[in-house]
Amino acid sequence: MHVPADIRSVARPKNTIVDNNGKPGPNQYPVRERAGITYVAGGNPKPRNGRVIGHIVGHKYVPLNDIRDFAVPDMLSYAVSSDLLDDLLAVYRPEAAYAILAIASLRVIKPTISDQRIATHYKRTFISVFYPGAALSQNSISKLLQELGQDGGKRKAFYERRMAAVEAGHHVAIDGMLKQDTSTVNDLSNFSYKSRVKGRKEISALYAYDLERMEPVCAEVFPGNSIDPSSYSAFIQDNNIRSGIIVADKGFPPSKIKEELTGRPYLQYLTPIKRNDIRIENNGMLQFEGVLIGIDRQVLYKKAEIKGSHFLYAYKDTGKYAIEESTFLTRVRLKDSFNQDRYEHKRETFGVIVLESDQDLAPEVAYQCYDDRWKLELVFRRYKNDECLDRTSAQGDFSAIGSEFINFISTVITCRLLSRARLCGLLKEMTYGDLMDDLSEAWRKIDAPENPKTDDGCWVHTLITAFDELERLDLSQPIPKPVQKKRGRPRKNLEEVVNKPKRPRGRPRKNPLPDA
């Protein structure tokens, strides 16, 4: 079949040809090497094609020996960055990539979608154009999840590429969440400390986030009853986290990852310690020495170097002090259990947080690093509410791990959508859910031009409000507005003013009256 000129022009090894098998998808254009020459009696010799050595995928030559499981389309809905696609292409086979990215995108567009409905929504959205030929039947998805979960080497290679992009000065926040999993054949599903009260089994998902880019860089699934210190240590080793500042949660003991930190000189930590830690009193951390500058709150601080060339940073937020004191007094008032000594002891630490780090930081920098961690809670809230990924329907260990890998891709896409919507000011006017609901009403003809324009006549039953959102997100070029006419008298042409003959100076003389 005919091979388009833009496909033939893609750089590839010498002595190869591009074929077209006629099946839309990542393997539509195989690259074959020349195997030799066939001599024809009485005619010119003809070249003989050999084995397939690669494919043209997304206008890139991808050799077979480098492919492991994913694909790259020319574009993605909602402007997903190409770096994520390149990382996937370097690790996975093209046909699997189309399926994974299609499922991840559909989980963003339709958060509550089930595996049985994925193929239906795939056919009625532009996902089928971006990822043609993806196998998304229920059996195909089940097999894909199983394979993703079984091959930990590929997931590790993918996450290592993501971690390599984290700059040394960036802050990596590590935190986890518990997800409901009631499977009876899943060893990962177990009762956590919190879930025993709820009476349901859960699995634990750990995520590492780049706080500067505000998106996840790697993830891993652990049993629901796994304690944080052991999970964190395994998480750092499994994903080869070697640079950045780990901003951990309260109560996380850095001593549990001492070996990991020793072998990774560019990996530091910043973690809060408990308020009853003896080091707070021994180092006089509640005797504050100044007020932070450059933030919009009144925060007292103190910095002290401790044994082992480590540092403590103590902060007291006056706003949080008032909130915690009010909460404490409200509780004791309802229980009628006020105790003067207990109140005085508690009052010293209201609004106080003490951080420990193995790095010498300015007090303002250390505070801002940990204060930015609240963004991570917003991502988890988005993960549970808008993405509806707070429970898993996978029945086996490998399927649960594979499903979480796709959820990771969905979370990266969601974080980038949030950043884009936040930059253009849309989240100040509506919620993320309302924005996605409006965008889902924007229907477009499948044979429309590649670069959408509001007035190109290829939109179908799209509301004006949706057009405004599409234009602000740079998903559609707006209609050029007519040039507004300036108010007032137009300026004179300078050439006409210069060439115009000057009026004689003085008042013109009057003609004498004729004689009577």
| Segment 328-352, tens digit of pLDDT | 999 989 988 888 888 988 888 999 9
For the chain, the straight-line distance linking the first and the last C-alpha, in angstroms and rounded, comes to: 109
pLDDT at 314 (0 to 100): 94
The structural domains of the chain, with segments of one domain joined by +, span 1-66, 151-392, 441-497
Helix, strand or coil for residue 407? helix
Angle between helices 464-472 and 432-439 (to 10 degrees): 110
Q: Are 366 and 373 in contact (CB under 8 A)?
A: no
Q: Residue written as tokens 């240590």?
A: 233
- State pLDDT tens for residues 42-86: 777 777 787 888 888 878 888 875 433 333 333 333 334 567 777
- What class, spelled out in words, does domain 151-392 have in CATH? alpha beta
Instruction: Give pLDDT, residue 208.
Output: 82
State which amino acid sits at residue 285. Answer: M
Q: Quickly count: other Cβ atoms within 10 Å of residue 369's Cβ.
A: 20
Contact 96, 134 (CB under 8 A): no
Q: What confidence tens digit (pLDDT) does each residue in 408-428 have?
A: 888 888 888 888 888 888 888
Averaged over 19-46, what is the pLDDT?
A: 80
Residues sharing a CB contact under 8 Å with residue 56, sequence separation 6 or more, in sequence order: 7, 10, 12, 18, 29, 31, 62
For residue 191, is pLDDT > 50? no
For the chain, what is the radius of gyration of the CA atoms? 32
Residue with tokens 């652990």: 222
Q: How far apart are CA 189 and CA 186, in angstroms?
A: 6
- Is residue 390 pLDDT above 80, yes or no? no
DSSP string, 351-375: TEEEEEESS---HHHHHHHHHTTHH
83-100 in b/e form (b: 16+ CB < 10 A) is: ebbebbbbbbbbbbbbbb
Helices (H), 297-396: 318-335, 340-347, 363-371, 374-384
The CA distance from 502 to 498, in Å, is 9
Residue 466, judged by CB atoms within 10 A of its CB (0-12, 13-18, 19+), counts as buried
The SS3 assignment for 169 reads coil
pLDDT class of 315 with cuts at 50, 70, 90 = very high
Residues 303, 386: contact at Cβ < 8 Å?
Answer: no
The amino acid occupying position 301 is Y
Separation between Cα atoms, residue 513 and residue 136, nearest integer Å: 107
Distance from chain centroid for Cα 53: 34
Percent of the chain residues topping a pLDDT of 90:
9
Chain mean position to CA 265: 27
User: pLDDT tens for residues 419-466?
Assistant: 888 888 888 888 877 888 888 778 888 777 778 888 888 888 777 888
Is the per-residue pLDDT at 276 higher than 50? yes
* pTM value > 0.75: no
Structure confidence at residue 179 (pLDDT): 62
